[in-house]
Structure 1
Amino acid sequence: MSDGATPRRPGTSLSVRLVAAALVWMLLLLGAGGAVLSTAFRQSAVQEFGHRLDALLRAMIAVTETAPDGSVSLVRSLGDPRFEQVFSGWYWQVAEPSGRLIRSRSLWDSTLPVHVAGAEERREIAGPRGEPLLVVERDLRFPGAAGPVHMLIAGDLRELNDGIRSFNRLLYAALALFAAGMTVAIIIQVRFGLRPLRRLSTDLTAIRDGRRQRLGGGYPREVAPLAEAMNAVLEHDSELIERARTHVGNLAHGLKTPLAVLQAELHDTPGRAVAEAQLRTMTRLIEHHLGRAAATAGSGRALGSRCTARPVAEEIATVLDRIHASRNIEAEIAIPADAVFHGPREDLQEMLGNLMENAWKWARGKIRVGARNAERRLILTVEDDGPGLTPEQAAIVAQRGARLDEAMPGWGLGLGIVTDLAAINGGSFAIDRSDLGGVRATLTLPGG
């Protein structure tokens, strides 16, 4: 039964939230870790490349000699064939104080820009063909030389960059594989960790559908208190319902006897007609309100109750057919065997009993009781070929909150109880005209 508030949509799945949070954090850490490793490897590779050039520069210094005229020359090869290959990207160059240049064969007729340096210095420049070069250079004084000799050696950074790119590809491929593995592990961990909650949800669905009465055991320590508290609520709810039923039954039994005694005593009393009329009104009101109180006390909203509708309708039809045997009413029970009401059998008996009794009362010769399932709802219909409703009665019945027992004279108090029981069980009740010519009463109840 709705209280008029807009129903809230379910929030995002807890599993999705946990997995998404873990993945975001993992990707941030992997991205940061990958950037740090890539930067560290590049710095280490550049430093190692510089050390190689330093070693070559010291080897070049070792094979450099000064002639008597003050000129310098390299008396031996540096041992790396790339210095002999034209524009290989590996070059050396010596600038004498006089300005004369001695160059490696790889430079051919090109020169590298000279940067005056005291101590050893590293810098990056563009080579003869625009290739990136790392240069290590320094000024040295040789015995017999007229001044400082500028010595320079350069290596091709493309080799270094290719190595760094290969490392980065391998690094990011490994990180992607690691991320995929961690994603699977996170999903498995979350699903395994939330399994008790899914089991709790399944148990609650089973209770709502009437397949069980209580939550099972075996929950982990974090969930067990919740399951125990819910079981305690279910047990307390059942006790309250049973106690209310008992009180209502006792009250009904206690009132019927004094009313019967009063009715017997008024048999020969003057003015008994008025007194009997008032007594009948009292009886009628007591039955009405006790019926509604019993309906409320026997609420079908207690979890765990369910019953099939066809046997209930057939039992009621058998009894009513015997009571009204002289009228030769043809009753058609068109209820599927899988039509299930999620609520107490007694409530369904009370609702169908009232509707079918009214149909038998007003039918001329045919009654049809049908049912169908629609979106977890059970829709029951009771139709007859009687006189039906007048437009005025139909308009009153359509009004929200209208009392059917007052709007439709002759239909009795049972319809008010049907309305209350349907609402209590989370359903609704409506009346319109049947294609048989009479009334069609429709009950929409939890089922499916």
Structure 2
Amino acid sequence: MLSVKRLPKVMHSLKARLIVSALLLILILMPLIGFTLNDAFKQQVKSASMNELKAYVYAILAVTEVSRDGVLMPEVLLENQFNVIQSGLYAAISTPNTSVLKSKNRAAFNAKIIETSPPATPLNSTNITSKDNQTIAWRSDSLLGIELPNQLPTPNKGQGQFSEIELNGQPHLIYSFSVSFELPTAINSESQHLNSRFPITIHIIKDQTEFQQQVDQFTQQLWRWLMILMGLLLAIQMTWLWWTLKPLSSLETELSAIENGKANQLSDRYPTELQAVAQQLNTLLSTEQNQRKRYRNALADLAHSLKTPLAVIQSQTDLSPESFEQVTHINRIIGHQLKRAQSAAGSAWHLGIPVVNISDKLVRNLPKIYCQPLITIKQNVDREAIFKGDEADLSEILGNVLDNACKAAASTVQLNITQNGAALVLQVEDDGSGVNETLQAQIFERGIRADSYKMGHGIGLAIVRDLVDSYHGQLSIGQSQLLGGASFTITFKY
């Protein structure tokens, strides 16, 4: 059995699975019904044809007379199709070779029939044709010009046999029925060559054209209506699936809205099976937000309680320069570690934040700070870009990178924000002196302190690096092709 991971990607969707199941059910069940009905109709038509041929057998048998001299039949049969040449309905009577007259007796028999037959009811003379181990003792006028097969079916006495044969290259249905006539037991010089019983087999042959036309017409109508029914079932099935899966689509839409920062909670308009899920998700969202708020408040209280004693120590007039430097360093470390701890990257749920809200604020305020010399910040921002994380973290990341760029720039900073599918790319370039290749490699090495970098690439970069790592993003540093200075590129993949 295939595991879920090995299934095609489209089959991970419940909607796709249900649609494929419905299609397979329709595409397998409906043709199966069609073949079954078509075969049943074909058997029914064949059975009706056999009953029809049986009736013709009894009609022929009713007018058949047998004597020691051969088979006697009327010149004209009641069923007119037997009298019309190649009408499509034929009759013939065959006898075993041991039961027929010798050839010298047949001429005498024919002459006798012609002399003794009354004009009002003429009888047809026996048209004897020998074929292998059987002889065609009589054939209807409709068989004129048609060659019968060398061997016709010969069932047991009192039994019938329904089969198919070819006449003139065309398929025909044939029903053969064998009977045996009792002959008088008179004994003379000629009768010693004859049996006391005279077996015959009556063959009724019918062209299959009408039979095949009925089958073909039924087949066409059957498949036409089955195709219409398949289309209707498919439409009903798709409508039913859409209506059944609509709550799942609504849930997906609302979750996407929450991730993109357009909503805070799920609605309660869900079926019973999904109502509990929606309530649990709303509880998770509320708990996550409240816990993050309490955690940040606790960290803020901790920072305040630590910074106050440090500030008192720093205010001492008798503090040596070495001690003052260490206290300042401790203060900086506390601020750095608290910012790392306050990151929401480890949250159970990343809500979507419009990037443009943060970028516009920074681009508007930073030039007011860096006005000597005046720094111009140009931006090319995708207004629909979404950062899936905490607003404070995004502000910290983008603010520190832009702040460093403004410090290092001569006059211009370029901000580019793009979102391609599930990837958010933040790029900040400046026209400063850039970052040499040696330092670029050291920035990403574990244990290298970011506050040892030259002006414009201080402790803020360490905060940015830690926050980006916590969101499993990528931070790369290079040279700007547009402005010639440093280029910081941050990529988040969701």
Q: TM-score range by the shorter chain?
A: 0.7 to 0.9
CA distance in 1, matches of 2:440, 2:236: 63
User: SS of 2:197's equivalent?
Assistant: coil
Amino acid at match of 1:289: Q
CA distance in 2, matches of 1:334, 1:111: 98
Contact kept? 1:91, 1:154, Cα under 8 Å: yes
Is 1:98 the counterpart of 2:100? The answer is yes
Q: What are the equivalent positions in structure 2 for 1:84-163 lying under 5 Å apart?
A: 84-95=83-94, 97-99=99-101, 100=126, 101-108=137-144, 110=147, 113=151, 115=154, 117-124=156-163, 126-131=165-170, 132-141=172-181, 147-158=197-208, 159-163=210-214
Which digits, 9 at most, give the CA deviation of each residue in 1:289-321, with x for residues without a partner? 112112347979631433424422234324413
Amino acid at match of 1:360: C
User: SS of 1:148's equivalent?
Assistant: strand
Is 1:428 the counterpart of 2:428? The answer is no
Measured at CA, do residues 250 and 234 of structure 1 come closer, stay the same or move farther in structure 2, by a change above 3 Å?
Answer: same
Amino acid at match of 1:442: T
Measured at CA, do residues 79 and 404 of structure 1 come closer, stay the same or move farther in structure 2, by a change above 3 Å?
Answer: farther
After the TM superposition, which of the residue ranges 101-110 and 375-384 deviates more from structure 2? Answer: 375-384
Is 1:408 the counterpart of 2:453? The answer is yes
Q: What is the CA distance between 1:380 and its match in structure 2? A: 3.3
Measured at CA, do residues 413 and 116 of structure 1 come closer, stay the same or move farther in structure 2, by a change above 3 Å?
Answer: closer
Cross-structure match for 2:417: 372
Cross-structure match for 1:49: 49
Is 1:228 the counterpart of 2:279? The answer is yes
Query: Which of 223, 228, 238 is equivalent to 2:289?
Result: 238
Query: Which of 385, 394, 398 is equivalent to 1:348?
Result: 394
Which digits, 9 at most, give the CA deviation of each residue in 1:188-221, with x for residues without a partner? 2222221111111111111111111122221112
User: SS of 1:222's equivalent?
Assistant: helix
Contact kept? 2:344, 2:390, Cα under 8 Å: no
Contact kept? 1:341, 1:446, Cα under 8 Å: no
Measured at CA, do residues 86 and 396 of structure 1 come closer, stay the same or move farther in structure 2, by a change above 3 Å?
Answer: same
After the TM superposition, which of the residue ranges 115-124 and 411-420 deviates more from structure 2? Answer: 115-124
CA distance in 2, matches of 1:18, 1:65: 72
Contact kept? 2:367, 2:374, Cα under 8 Å: no
Is 1:200 the counterpart of 2:251? The answer is yes
Contact kept? 2:474, 2:490, Cα under 8 Å: yes
CA distance in 1, matches of 2:215, 2:274: 52
Q: What is the CA distance between 1:229 and its match in structure 2? A: 1.9
Is 1:181 the counterpart of 2:232? The answer is yes
Amino acid at match of 1:395: A
CA distance in 1, matches of 2:161, 2:155: 12
Q: What is the CA distance between 1:375 and its match in structure 2? A: 0.2
Cross-structure match for 1:305: 353
After the TM superposition, which of the residue ranges 187-196 and 10-19 deviates more from structure 2? Answer: 10-19
Identical pairs, percent: 26
Q: TM-score, normalised by structure 2?
A: 0.77
Measured at CA, do residues 63 and 192 of structure 1 come closer, stay the same or move farther in structure 2, by a change above 3 Å?
Answer: same
CA distance in 2, matches of 1:273, 1:130: 121
Is 1:361 the counterpart of 2:410? The answer is no
Contact kept? 2:431, 2:485, Cα under 8 Å: yes
Which digits, 9 at most, give the CA deviation of each residue in 1:314-340, with x for residues without a partner? 34324413xxx4x22232332447264
User: SS of 1:329's equivalent?
Assistant: coil
Contact kept? 1:56, 1:78, Cα under 8 Å: no
Measured at CA, do residues 104 and 356 of structure 1 come closer, stay the same or move farther in structure 2, by a change above 3 Å?
Answer: closer
The RMSD of aligned alpha carbons is 3.2
Cross-structure match for 1:288: 336
Is 1:333 the counterpart of 2:382? The answer is no
Query: Which of 324, 327, 334 is equivalent to 1:279?
Result: 327
Cross-structure match for 1:392: 438
Q: What is the CA distance between 1:384 and its match in structure 2? A: 3.2
Amino acid at match of 1:421: L
Q: What is the CA distance between 1:98 and its match in structure 2? A: 3.3
Q: TM-score, normalised by structure 1?
A: 0.84
CA distance in 2, matches of 1:31, 1:91: 38
Measured at CA, do residues 378 and 29 of structure 1 come closer, stay the same or move farther in structure 2, by a change above 3 Å?
Answer: closer
Amino acid at match of 1:85: V
CA distance in 2, matches of 1:201, 1:58: 76
Q: What is the CA distance between 1:117 and its match in structure 2? A: 3.2
CA distance in 1, matches of 2:365, 2:386: 16
CA distance in 1, matches of 2:301, 2:61: 118
Q: What is the CA distance between 1:9 and its match in structure 2? A: 8.5
Contact kept? 1:296, 1:421, Cα under 8 Å: no
Which digits, 9 at most, give the CA deviation of each residue in 1:367-388, with x for residues without a partner? 3132232404443333333332
User: SS of 2:433's equivalent?
Assistant: coil
Number of residues of Structure 1 aligned to a counterpart in Structure 2: 431
CA distance in 1, matches of 2:489, 2:148: 101
Unmatched 5+ stretches in structure 2: 102-125, 127-136, 186-195
Give the number of the structure whose alpha-carbon radius of gyration is greater: 2
Measured at CA, do residues 58 and 225 of structure 1 come closer, stay the same or move farther in structure 2, by a change above 3 Å?
Answer: same
Contact kept? 1:383, 1:438, Cα under 8 Å: yes
User: SS of 1:317's equivalent?
Assistant: helix
Amino acid at match of 1:129: N
Is 1:59 the counterpart of 2:59? The answer is yes
CA distance in 2, matches of 1:258, 1:302: 36
Contact kept? 1:329, 1:363, Cα under 8 Å: no
Cross-structure match for 2:369: 320
Contact kept? 2:86, 2:143, Cα under 8 Å: yes
Contact kept? 1:335, 1:371, Cα under 8 Å: yes
